[in-house]
Structure 1
C-alpha cells in the first residue's frame, strides 16, 4: 500500500492499489486483523474510483458538439 491518502489519489493510483488489496484478500494468507484493515482500505479505494469516474462522466457530458461533430464549447458542471 502507498502512503498517499486515498482522497489525493488519481483514478489510476486508486485502481492499482485496489487490485493489489483484492489480490491479497483473495490469496487468503493474511491474518484476520490485516484482512479487516485491507477490506476497509479497499472500500475507500473503491469509493475513490467511483468518484473519479463520475467526475469524468460529468466532464464528458458537459461537452457539446456542433453539426459537424466538433466540440463547440463546454457547459460548466457545478463543483468542477
Structure 2
C-alpha cells in the first residue's frame, strides 16, 4: 500500500473491503489476523479523516462578496 497521504478514499475503501473479506473467511492465523485488523483500523481512520475534510468543506458556502459563510442543513425529525 502507498503512503497514507497518497491513498485516495476509493483505494482505501477497496483495501478495507478486502481486509473485511479476509477476516470474515476466518482462515487467517491469529497473529496475521491481528496485523490485518490493525491495517483495517488505520484505513478506517484514514477514510473517516477524508470524509470529515470533505464535510468541513461542504459546510461552507461562498457568499456573493466572495467570503465564506457557514452552511447548515436542517435535518427532518
- Short-chain TM bin: 0.7 to 0.9
In structure 1, what is the equivalent of residue 20 of structure 2?
22
Q: How far apart are 1:19 and its partner, in Å? A: 0.6
Q: TM-score, normalised by structure 2?
A: 0.76
RMSD: 2.2
Q: Give the number of equivalent residue pairs.
A: 69
Q: TM-score, normalised by structure 1?
A: 0.74
Partner SS for 2:59 = helix
In structure 2, what is the equivalent of residue 55 of structure 1?
53
Unaligned runs of 5+ in 1: 67-71
Q: How far apart are 1:73 and its partner, in Å? A: 4.5
